[in-house]
Structures are given as structure tokens and as C-alpha cells.
Amino acid sequence: MRRSSALLMAVVLTSSASGAAAAADAAPAATTRIAACPTGWGSLAKSRATATTVPVRDVRTGRHACFDRMTVDVPGAGTARLGYQVRYVDRLLQDGSGRPIAVGGGAVLEIRVAAPGYRPETGAPTYPGRAGRPLPGVDLTGYRSFRDTRFAGSFEGETQIGLGVRARLPFRVLVLDGRVVVDVAHSWGAGR
């Protein structure tokens, strides 16, 4: 009888330990899936060689769980003719003059959208940014990656923006209907 009880107790303890180990192994996997952020964007320059004469109307930003986003609105441009160049630079140099523009943060992304910030037929501005100044209407309070924005100007059909970020972080560029989107990740890792 004692032998049966001891054997039964050993079976119960072994089953409990196995179940606990399995549960412990499963828990991190579920947590990782929930907290996972996109990876693989990289920090090398990204570009798309096409252009439009449809002017830039607005630049806005937004916060997301895994990245901060800047959107350059070019309504009416569609997707086929929206071009860009986005790259990390040591310092932002204004097109035309070569004048350096100070941008706060640990690293600077130069964003060039191949669309003017003015009406090509008259030269009248369509975007209210002023060279060397922060982007109008953009408040970066509470952002994890973004630190500063500067309008560099619009010269020869291209609009140039400096985006100060916390560090040289991975980014991606998307072209959606009438807008160029730049997402900068909060970190290099897969977690938040």
C-alpha cells in the first residue's frame, strides 16, 4: 500500500512539473508575439526616382506603438509620380545655398520629396514652412524616436525637411495615395 501511494505521488509530482515547465515555455512566446515590432527596415538611404509638379500641402506626424511617423501630404499626386530620397546625414545643408541648418537629436534624417512646396506656375507657396524653422503645426512632445523638425525649403521642384531623431534608428519609406510616409522605429530590436 505504501509503495502504491509513493508511486502515485511520484506520478502526480512529475505531471505537475511537466505541466508547469510547458506553461513557462509557452508564456514568453505569447508575450513576444504581442510585443513584437517590425524589423528589417535598416538605416541605409532609400529613394524612388520619379517626380511630380503637384505641390506639397502639409507635413504631419503621429505616434505608433513601434515607430514614429512623418507624413508629407501631396494631395492629387497619386502614387505613380511621387518620388523621394531619405537618408541619414552628418548635417542638413539647404539646397541652393548650401547653408547648414541645425537639427536637434542624436541623428538627422534628410527627407526630400520630389514635389514643390509652391505652385510651379506662380511660385506662390503651398506649404507655410520657413527655411531653418520647425515645421508649422508639428508638436513632438511625447514622441519616442522624433526629437526635432526643420523645414529646409523647396528648391527646383523638391521639398527638403530635416528630421532629428534620438539615434540612427531603422526607418522605412512608403508611398501611399498622395503622400510620402517615413516611419522611424523606436529601437533596433524586435521588442518595444
Instruction: Give residue 93's region: left, alpha or beta (phi > 0; psi -120 to 50).
Output: beta
- At residue 122, φ and ψ (nearest 5 deg) are -120, -20
Q: What is the mean predicted confidence (pLDDT) over 65-90? A: 96
Cβ 183 vs Cβ 174: under 8 Å: yes
- Residue 19 backbone dihedrals phi, psi, to 5 degrees: -65, -40
Task: Tell me what the mean pLDDT of segment 3-15 comes to.
Answer: 43
The Cα diameter of the chain in Å comes to: 101
DSSP, res 102: -
8 Å CB contact between 161 and 146: no
Its pTM stands at 0.80
Grid coordinates of 41: 527596415
Phi and psi based region of residue 123 (left: phi greater than 0; alpha: psi -120 to 50; beta: remaining):
left
Cα 148 from Cα 12, distance rounded (Å): 61
Instruction: Provide mean pLDDT across the span 84-99.
Output: 94
11-63, pLDDT tens digit by residue? Answer: 444 444 444 443 334 334 343 344 578 778 999 999 999 999 999 999 999 99
Q: Is the pLDDT of residue 10 over 50?
A: no
- 100 has which bridge partners? 93
**How far separated are the first and last CA of the chain, in Å rounded?**
56
Cβ count near 31 (within 10 Å): 11
Would you place residue 190 in the very low, low, confident or very high pLDDT band (cuts 50, 70, 90)? Answer: low
Stated as kind and residue range, the H or E segment containing 10 is helix 2-35
Residue 98: half-sphere exposure toward Cβ, Cα within 13 Å: 0
Tens digits of residue pLDDT in 104-147? 999 999 999 999 999 999 999 999 999 999 999 999 999 999 99
